[in-house]
Amino acid sequence: MRVCILGSGLSSLTLAKSLVNQKIYVDVLYSKKIYPVNKTRTIGISKSNIEFFNEKIINIEKIIYKLNKIEIYSDNLEKQKLVSFGNNSDYLFSIVKNHKLQEILQKNLFKNKYFKKTNYKANINYSKDYDLVFITDYNHPITKKYFNKKIEKKYNSVAYTTIIKHNKISNNIAVQIFTKNGPLAFLPISEYETSVVYSINNYLKGEIEINKLINNYNVKYNLKKINKIHSFELKGLSLRSYFHKNILAFGDLLHRIHPLAGQGFNMTIRDIKILNNLIQNKIDLGLPLDSKLNTEFEKNQKHKNYIFFSAIDLIHEFFNLERKTKNNFLSKSIQYFNKNSSINKTFIKIADKGLLF
């Protein structure tokens, strides 16, 4: 069995590793365009997804930093705690640097006999040369031809990311603040470093301003340095059709969500988990890998991913509305309901396992 993956980002490499582990030949094809390595990007991965990663993809224990608690605050409650999740006895999720995850995957894949990585070639017949094709590249002509119908959400926001360096501190609590400019997250990655993601509404631009805002909201860290700030325009999307014949869209090309809940890549890991099971069933039954797999994958995942996409959007709109109306009734209600431990546990389970539990 031979498949190909178009594009070579994080979703592509993670999927490739999962497939070679199932003894499937994988060709990763990519464009010659040079992407500068951004060392300020981090990803929060939920506990059950880390367990799946370690067991079925590659062991990443050495490069992750475990966090026990998330505390959420809101400007609308005058910086009072809105809710908190987790306790000190077990970890909730882990933070990893994007470039380290890419490096470990790439290094391992290059040693694998089932794996090949080459530039895009002309004259490939995707339906004849490969059993299945996965596409993760937004700029590929196939994306433009077959995967242009989507539900899109423009957030009119930019995400600013950086890493702050600070004095040594016990650093196992992630903090998210719903500020009047948008959500700001402090995500610890060591006792000395914390990743910052600030999604700011209405294009309030300029590094100095962002540094100042980070400083204003930082109450915990004795800052030594704020690294270079990178920015990304935020968009949400969900493809209307997941596949065309034997070609399946994957990763952020399939669904992209607001980073406020740190769930984008977690959704892709859950997709890989399902795909992994569907493929294993076919292998066990001696069935071919063909477009039927794409139909089954879409049937399994599309509704769950869409509910997730909508739920994240709802949270975003909810805090936007509160900010615009300068009313804290909604936050007060969350504070009240979250005191109920079973509601709190349900939120933790959804963030950990998606809609599977």
Interface contacts to ligand FAD, rule CB under 6 A: 7-12, 30, 35, 43-44, 136-137, 159, 161, 197, 232, 251-252, 259, 262-266, 268
Which DSSP symbol is given to 34? P
User: At its nearest, how many Å lie between ligand FAD and the CB of residue 272?
Assistant: 11
Q: Which two tokens stand for residue 316?
A: 């975003």
User: At its nearest, how many Å lie between ligand FAD and the CB of residue 224?
Assistant: 23
Between residues 143 and 218, which has the closer beta carbon with respect to ligand FAD? 143
Which of helix, strand or coil describes residue 6? strand
Going from the C-alpha of 293 to that of each of 14, 175, 278, the distances in angstroms are 19, 40, 7
Q: Are strands 25-30 and 115-119 parallel, antiparallel or unpaired?
A: parallel
| C-beta of residue 272 within 8 angstroms of C-beta of residue 157 | no
Between residues 121 and 168, which has the closer beta carbon with respect to ligand FAD? 121
| Phi and psi angles of residue 225, each rounded to the nearest 5 degrees, phi first | -160, 145
Between residues 256 and 282, which has the closer beta carbon with respect to ligand FAD? 256
Between residues 76 and 263, which has the closer beta carbon with respect to ligand FAD? 263
User: At its nearest, how many Å lie between ligand FAD and the CB of residue 96?
Assistant: 9
86: left (phi over 0), alpha (psi -120 to 50) or beta: left
99: left (phi over 0), alpha (psi -120 to 50) or beta: alpha
Between residues 105 and 279, which has the closer beta carbon with respect to ligand FAD? 105
User: At its nearest, how many Å lie between ligand FAD and the CB of residue 226?
Assistant: 16
Between residues 73 and 250, which has the closer beta carbon with respect to ligand FAD? 250
Beta carbons within 8 Å of 106's beta carbon, 6+ residues apart? 13
User: At its nearest, how many Å lie between ligand FAD and the CB of residue 336?
Assistant: 28
User: At its nearest, how many Å lie between ligand FAD and the CB of residue 81?
Assistant: 21
Between residues 34 and 122, which has the closer beta carbon with respect to ligand FAD? 34
User: At its nearest, how many Å lie between ligand FAD and the CB of residue 94?
Assistant: 10
Q: DSSP readout, 56-68?
A: II---GGG-EEE-
Nearest to 238 by CA among 246, 249, 230: 249
Task: Please identify the residue of the shown chain whose CB is closest to the bound ligand FAD.
Answer: 7
